[in-house]
Amino acid sequence: MREDKENFEEDYFPFPEKDFRETFQWRIFRIMAEFVEGFQFVADFDRSVSFFGSSRFSEDNPHYKKARKLAELLAKKDYAVVTGGGPGIMEAANRGAYENGGDSIGINIQLHDEGEKANDYLGKSVGFHYFFTRKVMLSFASYGYVFFPGGFGTLDELFEMLTMIQTKKLPQPVTIVAVGEDYWKPLIDWFEKTLMEDYETISKKDLDLVKIVDTPEEALKVIEEGEPLKR
């Protein structure tokens, strides 16, 4: 009888001394729930543009001003603006949309007492516990993606988007705009000279996946020209 009881408890209560929320099963459920909630959230915004860039720029930085202006222009044309919900370029974009009556959307990461804080210009937002689920949502939230100068995180997002477009892993074509010729041109020149010409690891058409511009007005034009490609 005791052996049966032990087998029963082992089968139905495999973690008798552990909080189930600390198990890998619970983490799997939580990940699944975040994906479901995230995809439901972004599905409501089918005319949206996502912004990426440094979280370190303050409001007197020229790139902050350009991001804010571009978001203002987009809001006035009824585009939703999507960011990671934090400071710097994200704040600038949310601010430009929020102050001009547009949809200002934040796809945030839930942190404790330190790290990135949500900015004050979010109209709608959703929070994620896991960085990788948040990153997937940012990658699938829009048909237009705008990249301002930034650090490793910004470059990581750019390379991921370029890879997904190149390998046709996105459900629809997207438009990528890089704002700031002085920042982005050396990288594109490296693509062309080193990757394409010297090592032949990319093709000529891969260079056309991203458009470099220098002003908010030029960025808006590229985005509008790409709009027929939206989902």
Average pLDDT over residues 22-38: 87
pLDDT at 1: 47
Where residue 85 falls (left for φ over 0; alpha for ψ -120 to 50; beta otherwise) is left
Residue 12 pLDDT grade (very low, low, confident, very high; cuts 50, 70, 90): very low
Domains of the chain plus CATH, in order, are: 18-229 (3.40.50.450)
Where residue 180 falls (left for φ over 0; alpha for ψ -120 to 50; beta otherwise) is left
Helix residue ranges per DSSP H, the chain:
2-12, 24-42, 62-76, 89-98, 131-140, 152-166, 181-190, 204-207, 216-226
Average pLDDT over residues 40-62: 93
- The better pLDDT of the pair 164, 4 is held by 164
pTM: 0.85
pLDDT at 116: 65
Average pLDDT over residues 10-26: 62
Average pLDDT over residues 178-202: 97
CB 37 within 8 A of CB 126: yes
DSSP code, position 191: I
Average pLDDT of the chain is 88
Tell me the C-alpha to C-alpha distance, in Å, between residue 74 and each of 23, 161, 221.
44, 21, 10
pLDDT at 44: 85
